[in-house]
């Protein structure tokens, strides 16, 4: 706890006012970009390699998780040069199943934790939730912040929780911090949450749980990328970014990659530093790749939903 207080004192974030008009103008420019032919195929493969295939439902079963893992490991069955997805994201109770199913692959297992998706629980429960995921072999932990405390202005509470979960992860797992930006209301709040999470030790910052609308939007993503950029310019330390929810087609995903490259630079065009939380995106990317190579679209029914 003394270490956490020291970190807080050294890295207390300033409130940065976001110029919403500027953000909207920049987003509009990114959305006019078009990537074609060879560059498009390279971009589509990159998008595929950055996807966290996800199942986070009350009806999840071992078999459903195994099926998702099988899909992740066999995307290249049609074309041998396709990459795997980056990770499979599941509840802590399903981490062991996913870890076993993915044995021998380089696909990570990510686990949501900390009373996902609401975050409405005690720190002791959140730490236990995290420990269960880590003990089962999770490579990454996706935690949610306490949005109620944040909106009350209790930023120290939010900082301390993130720092405690980061300390629990230690060197075992990278920590992604989810803001649920649809509940934070303003871009100023999104920027402050980004700065708080980065200061508290987040390895990644992530827009959403996928359970609240709106989820990821270009505006909130760009605001978060700007926070990462400012931190990098001050410290030289890279922080990852994950827009999650609402990104279902390849065209939009490619626009996000343009945004990342032009805001942060080419080093972030790697799944160690950028991810998409969007399972349905994988199928559209596969359809677009098929179109690039054959000139024809496959039916959406050609690819498994899960």
Residues annotated as catalytic (active site), given as ranges = 142, 206, 242
Angle at 171 between CA 14 and CA 1, to 5 degrees: 50
Sign of the Cα torsion 136, 141, 147, 150 reads positive
Distance of CA 255 to the CA centre of its chain: 16
Rounded distance, CA 245 to CA 64, Å?
Answer: 20
Cβ neighbours, 10 Å, residue 38? 9
Q: DSSP character for 88?
A: E
Say how many CA atoms lie within 13 Å of 231 toward its Cβ. Answer: 29
26 neighbors 213 (Cβ within 8 angstroms):
no
Q: DSSP character for 81?
A: T
Tokens of 209: 């749980």
């Amino acid at each position: 706890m003394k270490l956490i207080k020291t970190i807080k004192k050294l890295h207390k974030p300033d409130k940065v006012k976001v110029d919403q008009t500027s953000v909207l103008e920049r987003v509009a420019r990114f959305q006019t970009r078009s990537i074609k032919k060879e560059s498009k195929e390279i971009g589509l493969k990159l998008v595929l390699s950055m996807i966290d295939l996800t199942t986070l439902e009350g009806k999840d079963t071992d078999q459903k998780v195994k099926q998702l893992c099988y899909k992740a490991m066999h995307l290249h069955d049609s074309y041998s040069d396709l990459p795997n997805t980056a990770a499979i994201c599941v509840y802590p109770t399903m981490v062991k199943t996913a870890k076993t199913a993915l044995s021998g692959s380089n696909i990570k297992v990510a686990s949501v934790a900390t009373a996902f998706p609401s975050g409405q629980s005690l720190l002791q429960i959140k730490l236990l939730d995290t420990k269960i995921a880590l003990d089962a072999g999770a490579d990454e932990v996706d935690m949610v912040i306490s949005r109620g405390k944040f909106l009350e202005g209790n930023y120290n509470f939010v900082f301390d929780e993130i720092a405690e979960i980061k300390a629990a992860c230690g060197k075992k797992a990278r920590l992604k911090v989810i803001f649920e930006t649809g509940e934070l209301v303003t871009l100023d709040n999104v920027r402050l949450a980004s700065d708080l999470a980065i200061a508290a030790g987040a390895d990644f910052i992530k827009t959403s749980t996928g359970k609240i609308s709106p989820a990821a939007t270009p505006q909130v993503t760009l605001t978060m990328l700007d926070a990462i950029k400012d931190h990098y310019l001050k410290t030289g330390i890279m922080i990852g970014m994950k827009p999650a929810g609402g990104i279902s087609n390849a065209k939009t995903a490619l626009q996000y990659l343009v945004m990342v490259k032009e805001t942060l630079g080419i080093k972030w065009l790697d799944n160690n530093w950028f991810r998409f939380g969007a399972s349905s995106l994988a199928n559209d990317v596969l359809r677009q790749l098929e179109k690039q190579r054959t000139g024809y679209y496959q039916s959406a029914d050609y690819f498994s939903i899960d």
